[in-house]
């Protein structure tokens, strides 16, 4: 797989703004068929047209799903499989930060539901088509914030007590890295690779779903010091398209280079325990 992405099919979640939008646009510019995923039907339609106009690539389609809802993740995968028989790259990018504790339509704490279980379930549902399309790639957008949390809080993973937005966000990003490592091990020999990445601090809509000082503060800080979204997307695009990482799997990247993730993320027993807990929470046995 080279930087010429002609004849490649790429799914990008959270593709209506920020890093996801810029990743989709860059990969469309390389000729890929883009399947974007977003929650808002009108925004999906507008962004699809925006990408087509910007790149001259008409092979851009958006599917609508709220990825915090497991039924909608399942429907997304089913709809994709009805339309397409291959998938070269799955770019798990959708996520959010919630200053106050919220729950998903499944009654699961929202950060965990959207930032981790979404990645876990969607990847599982698309593994058969990824394997059939091999060599294929799974790219999981994590964050340097994964190092803020020293372990997964297995005793209360949904933080029903002691909720802190940043602690819970950090835990979800730690879960992204740990999931990637365990997934890569399970995919050995399939020619499907799985890697995680830190995009950097990026000026996106991150945190803007919150209210008051949180929203205002995030907006100000992002404008002052953050990367532009197209810069934040560079490592995602690199892992999705570059021949330099063909066959590379089970790694963590920052600034298009392999980096060392936290000690907690490398705990193999905790990775396996996280996998088993995730299976229970999505009601599926995942063979990978």
pLDDT in the model for residue 267: 98
Q: Which is nearest to 230 in space by CA: 20, 22, 25?
A: 22
Superfamily of structural domain 9-282: NAD(P)-binding Rossmann-like Domain (3.40.50.720)
Residue among 169, 175, 197 at smallest CA distance from 277: 175
C-alpha dihedral over 194, 37, 20, 130, to 10 degrees? 20
| 54-69 pLDDT per residue, tens | 999 999 999 999 999 9
- State the Cα angle at 44 between 115 and 26, rounded to 5°: 75
Helix H or strand E segment including 266: none
Those residues with Cβ within 8 angstroms of residue 23's Cβ, 6 or more apart along the chain or in another chain: 12, 15, 91, 93, 233, 236, 237, 240
Alpha-carbon gap, residue 246 to 266, rounded angstroms: 23
- Count CB atoms within 10 A of the CB of residue 4: 12
pLDDT tens digits, residue range 203-229?
Answer: 555 444 445 555 554 455 445 544 686
Active site residue 97: no
pTM, 2 dp: 0.91
Label the pairing between strands 9-13 and 89-92.
parallel
What is the per-residue DSSP string for 73-91? HHHHHHHHHHH-S--SEEE
As a whole number of angstroms, the distance between CA 19 and CA 137 comes to 18
Region of 202 please: left (phi>0), alpha (psi -120 to 50) or beta: beta
> What's the pLDDT score for residue 203?
53
- Residue 281 neighbours by CB under 8 Å, 6+ apart: 108, 117
Q: What's residue 108's pLDDT?
A: 98
pLDDT digits (tens, 9 = 90+) for 5-52: 999 999 999 999 999 999 999 999 999 999 999 999 999 999 999 999
**pLDDT above 90 (res 72):** yes
Model confidence at 200, pLDDT cuts 50, 70, 90, reads confident
- Name the active-site residue from 169, 181, 238, 252: 169
Q: Could you give phi then psi for residue 108, rounded to 5 degrees?
A: -100, 140
What is residue 217's predicted lDDT score, i.e. its pLDDT?
Answer: 47
Q: What is the model's pLDDT at position 278?
A: 98
What does the pLDDT read at residue 208? Answer: 44
């Amino acid at each position: 797989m080279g930087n010429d992405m002609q004849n490649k099919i790429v799914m990008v979640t959270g593709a209506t703004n920020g890093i996801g939008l810029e990743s989709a646009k860059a990969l469309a510019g390389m000729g890929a068929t883009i399947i974007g995923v977003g929650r808002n039907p009108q925004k999906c339609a507008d962004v699809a047209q925006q990408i087509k106009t910007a790149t001259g690539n008409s092979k851009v389609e958006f599917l609508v799903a709220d990825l915090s809802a497991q039924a909608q993740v399942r429907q997304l995968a089913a709809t994709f499989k009805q339309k397409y028989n291959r998938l070269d790259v799955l770019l798990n990018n959708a996520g959010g930060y919630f200053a106050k504790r919220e729950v998903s339509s499944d009654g699961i704490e929202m950060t965990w539901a959207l930032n981790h279980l979404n990645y876990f379930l969607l990847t599982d549902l698309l593994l058969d088509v990824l394997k059939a399309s091999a060599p294929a790639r799974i790219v999981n957008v994590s964050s340097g914030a994964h190092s803020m949390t020293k372990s997964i809080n297995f005793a209360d993973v949904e933080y029903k007590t002691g909720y802190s937005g940043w602690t819970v966000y950090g835990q979800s990003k730690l879960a992204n890295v740990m999931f990637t490592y365990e997934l890569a091990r399970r995919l050995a020999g399939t020619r499907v690779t799985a890697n995680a990445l830190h995009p950097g601090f990026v000026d996106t809509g991150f945190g803007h779903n919150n209210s008051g000082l949180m929203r205002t503060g995030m907006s100000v800080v992002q404008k002052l010091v953050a990367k532009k979204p197209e810069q934040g997307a560079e490592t995602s695009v690199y892992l999705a398209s570059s021949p330099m990482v063909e066959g590379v799997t089970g790694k963590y990247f920052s600034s298009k280079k392999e980096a060392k993730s936290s000690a907690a993320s490398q705990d193999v027993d905790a990775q396996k325990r996280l996998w088993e807990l995730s299976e229970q929470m999505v009601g599926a046995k995942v063979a990978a």
